[in-house]
Amino acid sequence: MSAVTSTAAPVASKRSRIEFGRYLRRNPSLVIGIAMIGVLLLFTLIGRYFVPWDNAFPLTGPRSRPPSAEWWFGTDAKGRDLFAVMVYGTLLTLKIGLIAGFLGLFIGTIIAFVSAYYGGWIDATVRVLVDVFITVPTLLVLVVVASAIQSSMSTTMMAMTIALLAWREPTRQIRAQVLVMREAPYVLVARLNGASPFRIIFRELIPNLLPYLGASLIMAVASAVLASIGLEALGLGVPSEPTLGMTIYWMMNESAFLLGIWWWILEPVTVLVILFVGLYLITTGLDELANPRLRRST
């Protein structure tokens, strides 16, 4: 009996690896998206060994120097090493997006599950609140809040500010999914068997929503990054932090277009394009995984 079990385990493991490989071949958008984000992460992690934090912004360097063997990404109008700026700026921008995205999705998921599962006046109240807050102009509110706390602004504070409104879309979308799933046969069977709401939510609903929650997280991170860039491009970020948004702000403030400092313009834009395209492809791949109707046939 043990010999049969020990033989069956490797066979099942090999079969699952084969199925996973086949799925990845059918879902190239997910693979390409993960690869693009992985390249950015490797760039930031490996790049830190070439530009220690203490020497990340050498203002004594030559100003407006194009890319060369000495200055790989060139320097800006203030003499800052743009390779160091891109390394740390990408990392800080991802940090803002991840914190705000996680907080927004976490709060939105809790509200959505409580609202949709219990229904009644709780669901009616949440629906009205979401409909009201969804009409609030996001950038206007964030500008007002960021202006009020700019003296104590940090990258973490920036993420918390963006998270103030980041829960709205996850709440609406996840609530719609739970409203459908709560009437599924397996949920009704769990109720008949006496399962508590807590057990149904965490053992039946959330596991089936994991791909969708993953796609929602990626979308929330992308939205948070976009919001942070908008605020920082308006000068409401942290001047001492070389985020991608602040790099764009200094680029516009120093008239890089008029001065012909093309590398100062090209580099942050290239990083942002890779970031947003990668996040979009990951979202598309996870959405295909969550929605059987979108899956490609073998």
- The model's pTM: 0.83
Residues 74 and 63: their CA atoms lie apart, in Å, by: 9
- Which DSSP helix (H) or strand (E) runs through 211? helix 206-233
pLDDT in tens, 193-216: 877 777 888 888 888 888 888 888
Which residue, among 182, 177, 223, has the nearest Cα to 201 in the 3D structure? Answer: 182
Q: Are 40 and 87 in contact (CB under 8 A)?
A: no
Q: Are 208 and 163 in contact (CB under 8 A)?
A: no
Which residue, among 75, 76, 85, has the nearest Cα to 256 in the 3D structure? Answer: 76
Tokens of 280: 């979009």
Tokens of 32: 């390409």
One digit per residue, the tens of pLDDT, for the chain of length 298 reads: 444 444 444 544 555 555 555 656 667 888 899 999 999 999 998 888 887 665 545 556 788 888 888 888 888 888 888 898 899 889 999 999 999 999 999 999 999 888 888 878 888 888 898 888 888 888 788 888 888 887 777 888 889 889 888 888 888 888 888 888 887 888 888 878 877 777 888 888 888 888 888 888 999 999 999 999 988 888 888 888 888 999 999 998 888 888 888 888 899 999 999 999 999 998 888 877 666 555 554 4
pLDDT in tens, 9-37: 454 455 555 555 565 666 788 889 999 99
| Helix pair angle (155-163, 206-233), 10° resolution | 120
pLDDT in tens, 142-172: 888 888 887 777 888 889 889 888 888 888 8
